[in-house]
Amino acid sequence: MADPPGLKKLGERILVTGALGQIGTELVEALRAKYGPDAVVASDLREMPDHPVVRSGPFRHLSVIDADGFDSVVVEEGIAVVYHLAAILSATGERLPELAERINVGGMVTVLEAARKHGLRVYAPSSIAVFGPDAPDVAPQVTALNPTTVYGRTKVTGERLALNYWKQYGVDVRGIRYPGLISWKAPAGGGTTDYAVDIFHSALAAGHFDCFVRADTRLPMMYMDDAIRATLELMDAPADSLGDARVGYNIRGDSFTAGELADAISARMPGFTCDFVPDVRQEYADSWPDDVDDSVAVAEWGWKAEFGLDAICDAMLRGMKS
C-alpha cells in the first residue's frame, strides 16, 4: 500500500466530526494551523456559534448517525480525510448504553462506509477502555480485549470494524488508544478520567476538590499537546510502516494515581485540599490498566511523549491562569 495521499498533494479538505468536544477543540486548531483554516471543515451535533472552532473556519451541523447527511457533506465539501471524534464517553455511556452503542458503533459504520465509497482516509480514536480487568497492569499492544464497560465494548467493535475495512477494502484508517486526556481549552466530555481535568478547575476556583475516585487509582494519562502531536504524526506516517495496530496504537504519556496528582497540585498551590469520595466511576477506572506498553507505536512511527506529571501540572496551571 502506497504512502497516504496527503492533503498537500491533492489540495483536498478535512472533515472533523465531534469537533466541539475536548479533543476537537484543539485538533481543529492544530489542523487549521497546518493546512489553513478553509481546508478544515469542523462538524458536530451541537451548535455553538461562539465556539472558537465555529468562529475560526467552516462548520457543518451534522450527526454521524445520519449516513445520507454525512455523504452529502463529504461530496459538497470535497472531503479527502475524516478525523472522526464524535462519540459518547464512558461515564455517559454507562448511563445511556443504548445511545453509546448507537453513536459509537453506528457513527463508525457511517464514516467507514463513506470512506469505502469515496476513497477517504480516516482517523478514528480508540481508548484504554478497550482493556478489561483481565489485562496485565501494564497493558501490552496485543492482549485479550474483554472490557466490562459498554463504552469499552464499542471501542473494541470500532477497532475491529476499522481493521476489516482496511483488510477487505483497503480503507486507510488509523487510530490511537488515547489514555485519559488532560487539557484546559475545553471541558472534558463525560468520561471517567474527567477527574484529572476537573481537579485543576476546582483547585483554581475553590482551592478544594471532591475527587470521584480513590487516591490510589492509577491510570494512564496524557497531556493534550502530546495527544494532538501523536495524532498528526500517526496520520503523516508512511502506510507501509504500520501493522495491524494501525487501528488502535497504545501510546504512553505518564501513569499516576489520583493522590499523586492532588499532591502535585498542592505542591504548586499551597492550601489546596482534596477529598476522595468514590462513586460509580470508580468501578470503570478499576477495570482499566495502570499503564500501557507503547513499544509498537515507538517502533512503527517513532512515538515519544514530552509531558510527565510535573510538566502537565505546570502547563495546566499556566494555561488556565492565562
Instruction: List residues binding ligand SER (CB under 6 A).
Output: 89-90, 127, 129, 151, 180, 191-193
Residues 6+ apart with CB under 8 A from 233: 301, 302, 303
In the complex with ligand SER, the residue whose CB is nearer, 151 or 272, is 151
181 binds ligand NAD (CB under 6 A): yes
When binding is defined by CB under 6 A, the residue of 6, 52, 58, 65 that contacts ligand NAD is 65
90 binds, among ligand NAD, ligand SER, none (CB under 5 to 8 A by kind): ligand SER
191 binds ligand NAD (CB under 6 A): yes
| Interface characters, 79-98, with ligand NAD (x: CB under 6 A) | ------xxx-x---------
| Active-site choice (151, 165, 178, 223) | 151
80 binds, among ligand SER, ligand NAD, none (CB under 5 to 8 A by kind): none
253 binds, among ligand NAD, ligand SER, none (CB under 5 to 8 A by kind): none
Task: Copy the grid coordinates of residue 225.
Answer: 499537546
**Which residues ranging from 238 to 257 are in contact with ligand NAD (CB under 6 A)?**
none
Q: How far apart are CA 50 and CA 77, in angstroms?
A: 22
Beta bridge partners of 221: 180, 254
305 binds, among ligand SER, ligand NAD, none (CB under 5 to 8 A by kind): none
Task: Copy the grid coordinates of residue 62.
Answer: 451534522
Q: If phi over 0 gives left and psi between -120 and 50 gives alpha, with beta otherwise, what is residue 140?
A: beta
Q: How far apart are CA 27 and CA 228, in angstroms?
A: 6
CA–CA distance from 127 to each of 68, 145, 288 (Å)?
Answer: 28, 12, 10
200 binds ligand NAD (CB under 6 A): no
In the complex with ligand SER, the residue whose CB is nearer, 112 or 224, is 224
Please state the closest distance from residue 45 (CB atom) to ligand NAD, in A: 4
230 binds, among ligand SER, ligand NAD, none (CB under 5 to 8 A by kind): none
Alpha-helical (H) ranges within the chain are 7-10, 22-35, 52-55, 67-77, 90-95, 97-100, 106-118, 150-169, 195-206, 224-236, 258-268, 281-286, 295-301, 309-321
Contact predicate 122/226, CB 8 Å: no
Please state the closest distance from residue 52 (CB atom) to ligand SER, in A: 22
According to DSSP, the β-strands at 273-276 and 249-250 are unpaired
When binding is defined by CB under 6 A, the residue of 30, 34, 63, 77 that contacts ligand NAD is 63
Please state the closest distance from residue 93 (CB atom) to ligand NAD, in A: 9
Q: How far apart are CA 201 and CA 316, in angstroms?
A: 10
Give the interface segment with ligand NAD, choosing from 6-14, 38-46, 141-149, 299-307 (CB under 6 A). 38-46
Q: Is 35 a catalytic residue?
A: no
Task: Copy the grid coordinates of residue 193.
Answer: 478520567
Dihedral of CA atoms 49, 176, 236, 231 in degrees, nearest 10, equals 40
Active site residues: 151
Residues near ligand NAD (CB under 6 A) are 17-18, 20-24, 44-46, 63-65, 85-87, 89, 103, 125, 127, 178, 180-181, 189-191, 193
